[in-house]
Amino acid sequence: MAKKRKQQQRHSKEETATLSVTDALNEDVLAKLKAAKQELTKIEAKEEEQRQIQLKKERKEREKNKSFEELLNEYGDMGSKY
């Protein structure tokens, strides 16, 4: 009977020792971390949008500065013969 009690006590101590991170953190700290994560997500999305705009602008500039020979090589057989 004493062995069962020791085993039960040991199991209960192990369960309390393995608290999850959310259980150990205060609600305020958890809320701050979630807000920081959302802010970082917004910043990353804005940076990605700026990068896409910059790439589009660079492509347009390269297309604009192509020589006649480059344009002919690229689009030469696409047009009609008339």
Q: What pTM did the predictor assign?
A: 0.50
Dihedral of CA atoms 11, 13, 14, 20 in degrees, nearest 10, equals 130
pLDDT of 5 strictly over 70: no
pLDDT digits (tens, 9 = 90+) for 32-61: 999 999 999 999 999 999 999 999 999 999
Q: In Å, what is the CA distance from 1 to each residue of 28, 30, 41?
A: 45, 43, 56
What amino acid is encoded at 60 in this protein? K
Q: In Å, what is the CA distance from 69 to each residue of 8, 22, 80?
A: 84, 64, 18
